[in-house]
Structure 1
Amino acid sequence: MPILRALSATMILTAALLLAACGALPAPALTPPEEARLASLLPADALLIGEQHDAPEHHLLERQVVAWLAARGQLAALALEMAEQGHGTAGLPPDASQAQVRAALAWNDDAWPWRDYGPSAMAAVRAGVPVLGANLPAARLREAMRDTALDTGLPPPAMAVQQQRIREGHCELLPERQIQPMTRVQIARDMAMARTLEQAHQRGRTVLLITGNGHVHRSLGVPRYLPPDWKTKVLSAQAQQARAATENEADEAAAGPALHAGDLAWPTPPVPPRDHCAELREQMKTPRRP
């Protein structure tokens, strides 16, 4: 009997590992209070989740929201900043493998680890919901940098804020001549994601976008380029130690237009401190500015 029990335990563990490898294990369910907070955002034509890319709790939340919306029959599509426009899983069956899904999305694991976003994508696929690449294709980046028409994509006060965000996001390491081209790229990406959401729209259901917090700002990002008659909601996941974001929003409101970041802040546990600027300086081989 002990041998049989040991074999049974081994078989259960092996099965669990195989299910995990297939992305089939469900995420822990949202708690009733969490469901109530999320339900306060519905109905919505589009729900945008802003994340901190290196926060594991944000990826768990995304998977939970996908499963919750799908279980309610309200998820029209899952759109991802992490894959390019023109790629998607619409032609795949619900039992498609992870390899098939990654190939359909032309996934770049070096840029976006599949372990972070694969569970959300697979949860949507298993529910029979299409997963769509939403980001501007890399082949169009240079074109966007030169497109002066994008300079009117934001009113001047908001444009100034966006440019400052580009400076700060690159740790004040970019030469000033690169700020406007990089701002055009940011605007082009926001427009591309908005177009993807429009194309996936279904009346009475919600298109879900997963992207960085910088792209979900109501006055600066994707929501600005969605139809004005849409019910667009923004959930911003915030690691608890990231107080700078709130302070920046207050500074922006005082400095110019009435900027509105989102509808619901979702606090999560802190993530280990990381010096992104030191990493960027190493990548760019640029000395620290005085």
Structure 2
Amino acid sequence: MRLLSAFAALTLSLQLAGCGSPPPHIAHLQGADVLLLGEIHDQASHQRQHRDVVQALAARGRLAALVLEMAERGHGTAGLPRSADEDAVRAALRWDDQAWPWASYAPAVMAAVRAGVPVLGANLPRGQMRAAMADGSLEGTLDDGALAAQREAIRAGHCDLLPPQQLLPMVRVQIARDRAMARTVAETAQAGRVVVLLSGAGHADPALGVPRHLPAALVARPVLLERPAGGAARDYCAELREQLQREQ
């Protein structure tokens, strides 16, 4: 996998252009096979950018597929007509609205469907997670530094509440998810067009995530979306600790 040299490991705060103009990063996708948009899940502005990217690429005939962390691998809209309604699309993707609010992602998903572009789930199916936790071979897909960084990301992401013995199994699941998404992206790649992957920022991280597992022949551009300036950060760890205290 090759990263576009001008954008390797780049974190951008994307400001959309005015009406009728493409998002500014679209102009810099010459030669790219994959655009990975790594969002902060609670940021509505990021999901609006998803929609604008999909619409801009589709309008230019350059969108090969829309690939989602938010749905499991093996489910997609390829058999649906452009006129399919939202209920049919949700059913095809086996959408879990409790995990991923449909209203947040529907604009991007439906823009792809209306353009006749397949929308594909890419996340590791829930039924495969237990096997991933026990699969020691997954650790060998990252070098020691990346593996240590992934372990630290899992620790911090779980608010330091995971027992130490659970860290490595959770790292394996994260790697397995990245590999499942990478396989889906690789299977849908088309010469001259761009596969767009929507995922959390950790999965789009070129040092740790999906880009590490893409075929070497694919040119990928990871973009890690930033929290808007002045935006309040939700303290999920504080919320989780309060919940645990109430349950105790």
- TM-score normalized by structure 1? 0.76
* Deviation of 1:64 (Å): 0.2
Check the 8 A contact 2:22/2:56 in 1, yes or no: no
Q: Aligned partner of 1:55: which letter? A: Q
| Contact map agreement 1:77 1:131 (CA 8 A) in 2 | yes
Q: 1:120 aligns with which of 102, 108, 118?
A: 108
- Runs of 5+ consecutive residues of structure 2 not aligned to the other structure: 1-15
Distance 2:18 2:203 in 1: 25
Cα distance in 2 for partners of 1:100, 1:69 equals: 24
Residues 88-103 of structure 1 correspond to what in structure 2 (within 5 A)?
88-103=76-91
- Of 113, 124, 132 in structure 2, the residue corresponding to residue 144 of structure 1 is 132
Deviations 1:101-120 (A, max 9, x none): 00000000000000100111
Pick from 50, 68, 93 the counterpart of residue 62 of structure 1: 50
In the alignment of these two chains, the number of paired residues is 232
Superposed displacement of residue 38, structure 1: 2.7
Give the whole-Å Cα distance in 2 for the aligned partners of 1:94 and 1:236.
30
Task: Specify the SS of the correspondent of 1:43.
Answer: coil
Task: Answer whether contact 1:57 1:269 (CA < 8 A) is retained.
Answer: no
Deviations 1:69-123 (A, max 9, x none): 0001000000000000010000000010000000000000000000100111000
AA in 2 matched with 1:193: M
Paired letter, 1:199: E
1:75 to 39, 44, 63: 63
Please, what TM-score do these two structures have when normalized by structure 2? 0.88
State yes or no: 1:40 paired with 2:28.
yes
From the CA coordinates, give the structure whose radius of gyration is larger.
Answer: 1
Q: Give the distance between the partners of 1:114 and 1:133, measured in 2 at CA.
A: 14
- Please give the alpha-carbon distance, in whole angstroms, between the structure 1 residues aligned to 2:154 and 2:74: 27
State the percentage of identical aligned residues.
53
Q: 1:49 maps to which residue?
A: 37
Distance 1:30 1:72, change over 3 A: farther
Assess if the C-alpha contact under 8 Å between 1:76 and 1:201 holds in 2: yes
Instruction: Give CA-to-partner distance per residue, 1:224-282, whole Å, 9 cap, x none.
Output: 1111121111111101xxxxxxxxxxxxxxxxxxxxxxxxxxxx344333210022224
